[in-house]
Amino acid sequence: MKVKYFSDTDLVYIEFSNQEVAETKGINGNILIDLVENGQLVGLTIEHAKVQANHSENSFLQLTPKS
């Protein structure tokens, strides 16, 4: 999974898979989902991310499973 933040447009893109996107659907005015041909979710776009998260700063924490 990759999370990308574009500060110039205040957009967050979360990529769950690098499969080719077949369709993009709008969930609401600020959230879009990318699907492969079989309907599996491969990406999520959040527009106006700071407003949506109600935060001026965001941080990311990577979790790793216990071995």
- pLDDT mean by block of 10 residues, the chain; 67 residues: 89 94 95 97 93 62 56
Do 43 and 34 contact (CB within 8 A), yes or no?
Answer: yes
pLDDT score at 54: 65
Is 6 inside a domain boundary?
Answer: yes
In a domain, 61, yes or no: no
13 occurs within a structural domain: yes
Range of the domain at 31: 2-49
Tell me if 65 is assigned to some domain: no
Supply the pTM of this predicted model: 0.75
**Domain membership flag for residue 8:** yes
Find the radius of gyration of the CA atoms of the chain. Answer: 13
How many domains, the chain? 1
d(CA 60, CA 62): 7
Report pLDDT for 49. 86
